[in-house]
């Protein structure tokens, strides 16, 4: 079964409020079996819209990634996000084995 990759491209507008989300989402990702590959490090924009945060997490499968997204634990983190906190795009991509 191929792994899956959670790719979040985020333009954080309010760091303090976003931190409330990140403080819950990060540990929840790990608890769900994800491996965080990139989270808040330096970004060099080469094309398209500049963002200030990129999150890439590896899940054992697409099913696991979807299950996490729809979990109660992740919903607890999501309640801190709105259009005043950040603009984001979140995708899950199935890996190539």
Question: pLDDT (tens digit, 9 = 90+) per residue, 13-23?
Answer: 999 999 999 99
pLDDT of residue 97: 76
Convert the pLDDT of each residue in 39-77 to its tens digit: 988 999 999 988 999 999 999 999 999 999 999 999 999
CA-CA distance, 64 to 36, in Å (whole number)? 14
CA-CA distance, 2 to 22, in Å (whole number)? 27
Residues 6+ positions from 66 with CB-CB distance below 8 Å: 92
Average pLDDT over residues 22-28: 96
Number of domains in the chain: 1
Query: Could you tell me the pTM of the whole model?
Result: 0.89
pLDDT of residue 1: 86
CA-CA distance, 5 to 56, in Å (whole number)? 7
CA-CA distance, 59 to 77, in Å (whole number)? 18
CATH of the domain at 34: 3.30.70.100
């Amino acid at each position: 079964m191929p792994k899956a990759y959670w790719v979040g491209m985020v333009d954080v507008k309010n760091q303090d409020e976003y931190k409330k989300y990140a403080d819950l989402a990060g540990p929840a990702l790990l608890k769900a079996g994800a491996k965080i590959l990139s989270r808040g490090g330096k970004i060099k924009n080469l094309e398209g819209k500049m963002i200030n945060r990129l999150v890439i997490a590896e899940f054992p499968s697409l099913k696991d990634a979807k299950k996490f997204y729809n979990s109660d634990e992740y919903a607890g983190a999501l309640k801190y996000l709105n259009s005043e906190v950040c603009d984001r795009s979140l995708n899950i991509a199935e890996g190539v084995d």
